[in-house]
């Protein structure tokens, strides 16, 4: 079973693709601080720890959703639903709600993480077509906040060279920033201290043997 996890949700011309677009600039010797990225909410558990809040099984005819692309390329039902969710995610009214999504082509299902919002849920579920299922999961942080935090951590990619090596940084759609390092036991307390307790709750330090494109 293939499952593609989105780091940054981008609509492509023919199908939905997953692209990692975090630029790493490698600034050296930045001072540790406790600044909190705006938008983070008090956190009890991460999106990965909570179950399904709502499941929407599509009843809407596939052709009732407009084509997502300018050239009217034909889309599979799953692609139409994902394209519509992507548009909702980028709408100003939901900027503080949407966290991320992943899709499973085999089961034709989409998992969406969001800060609970009845209006967003209704808009998402109202666009689910026949043959597709959407599951909504709770999160406590929006995507803009995670993107800003990931960029900040990425700026420090080489900051701790000689102590540990940071190899990749990316946003996980479930509601956290994944930081891949060569020595997580050494890196974890250092990273948590560097970015402060509030931000640290949205950072997961994990073992990565070699640098690679970070996908959510």
| 154-183 pLDDT tens trace | 999 999 999 999 999 999 999 999 999 999
Q: Is residue 102, in this structure, part of any structural domain at all?
A: yes
Residue 53 lies in a domain: yes
What mean pLDDT value characterizes the chain?
78
Please tell me the total count of domains within the chain.
1
Q: Residue 131 falls within a domain, yes or no?
A: yes
- Please report whether residue 153 resides in a domain: no
Confidence (pLDDT) at 27: 28
Q: Which residue has the higher pLDDT, 49 or 198?
A: 198
Question: Does residue 197 belong to any structural domain of this protein?
Answer: no
pLDDT band at 139 (very low <50, low <70, confident <90, very high): very high
- pLDDT per residue over 31-55, tens digit each? 333 334 433 333 333 333 458 899 9
Is 195 domain-assigned?
A: no
Residue 67 lies in a domain: yes
Highest mean pLDDT among 8-12, 29-33, 96-100: 96-100
The domain of 103 spans 47-138
pLDDT at residue 137 in the model: 98
Closest to 97 measured CA to CA, from 48, 146, 149: 146
Q: What is the pTM of this model?
A: 0.72
Would you state the pLDDT for residue 69? 54
Residue 91 in domain: yes
């Amino acid at each position: 079973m293939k499952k593609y996890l989105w780091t940054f949700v981008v609509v492509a011309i023919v199908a939905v693709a997953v692209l990692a677009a975090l630029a790493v600039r490698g600034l050296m010797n930045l001072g540790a601080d406790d600044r909190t990225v705006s938008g983070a909410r008090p956190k009890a558990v991460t999106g990965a720890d909570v179950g399904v809040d709502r499941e929407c099984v599509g009843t809407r005819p596939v052709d009732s959703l407009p084509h997502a692309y300018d050239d009217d390329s034909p889309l599979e039902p799953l692609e139409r639903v994902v394209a519509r969710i992507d548009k909702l995610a980028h709408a100003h009214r939901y900027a503080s709600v949407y966290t991320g999504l992943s899709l499973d082509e085999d089961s034709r299902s989409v998992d969406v993480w969001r800060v609970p919002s009845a209006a967003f849920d209704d808009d998402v579920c109202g666009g689910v077509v026949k043959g597709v299922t959407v599951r909504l999961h709770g999160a406590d942080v929006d995507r803009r906040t995670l993107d800003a935090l990931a960029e900040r951590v990425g700026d420090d990619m080489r900051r701790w060279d000689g102590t540990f090596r940071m190899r990749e940084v990316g946003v996980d759609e479930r509601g956290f920033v994944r930081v891949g390092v060569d020595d997580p036991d050494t890196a974890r307390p250092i990273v948590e201290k560097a970015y402060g307790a509030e931000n640290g709750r949205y950072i997961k330090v994990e073992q990565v043997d070699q640098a690679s494109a970070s996908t959510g």
